[in-house]
Amino acid sequence: MNLCSDQWVLEFAAPERIAAVTWLARDPRMSFHAVRAAAVPVNHGRTEELLRLQPDLILAGSYTTRATVRLLRQAGIAVEELDVPSTLEEVAAQARRLGTLLGAPEAGERFAARIEALPAPAPHPLRVAVLRPGGSAAGRGTLLESLVAAAGHESLSAPGRTRLDLEMLLRERPDAIVTALDGDAPPAEATLWLQHPALRHATLRPPSVLPGSLWICAGPGNPEAVALLAALPSP
């Protein structure tokens, strides 16, 4: 019932054991396992359609679809709610939990070990501005900031500040600008900034793309996100 729980199910469970994932799981802009999701049924989070599937277990997010979760539990269906990890250590712990829950403890342990064995941070840390579509930043205490730090860099954000703007980018002059927005992305505020003449003439390095499917969720895409961030060239 949740894009992020979709990713774990598609990572650890065989297709024949998956009753459905959300329809968002097939969107490659958001879903790391969009290709795998194309081979299994999808749902739209409605109580009636989930009941018809007669699943043994439903995975949901802790902060979404509260009414649906309550109705499903009243119907006697087991529902596990997933928290939102904010560090890679919490991602590893969630991988172990979900691997065990889905009958694949060895796979969960392997993924957790992969997280814990990520290479040492980059030798030349950069000040990185990560632009979300609406202009928000990789704020303190978020998984995205944890990914940037694991790559050895510093996020252009400060306590209590979760939003960037064009003026801040021009003033702070980050070593690298990273965005999830590619040429096929829908219009967004951050996209307009990157096209602004002031930014084009500020001699800042062209932005690098970090696909949203690698970091929107805690899960299988996170190691690749760290690798791409670590590979950002020095000024």
Token pair belonging to 169: 């980018």
Supply the pLDDT for residue 194.
Answer: 74
Nearest CA to 25 out of 209, 178, 216 is that of: 216
Instruction: List the beta strands (DSSP E) in 84-196.
Output: 127-131, 154-155, 176-179
Whole-structure pTM value: 0.89
Over the stretch 116-125, which tens digit does the pLDDT of each residue have? 999 888 777 9
Q: Note the pLDDT of residue 157.
A: 67
Q: Can you tell me the distance from the alpha carbon of 94 to that of 104, in angstroms, rounded to the nearest whole number?
A: 13
pLDDT at 185: 56
| 59 neighbors 2 (Cβ within 8 angstroms) | yes
Sign of the CA dihedral running 88, 93, 94, 98? positive
Residue 134 pLDDT: 62
pLDDT at position 160: 47
Residues of the chain with pLDDT under 70: 133-139, 157-163, 181-191
The predicted structure's pLDDT at residue 7 = 97
Residue 116 has what pLDDT?
93
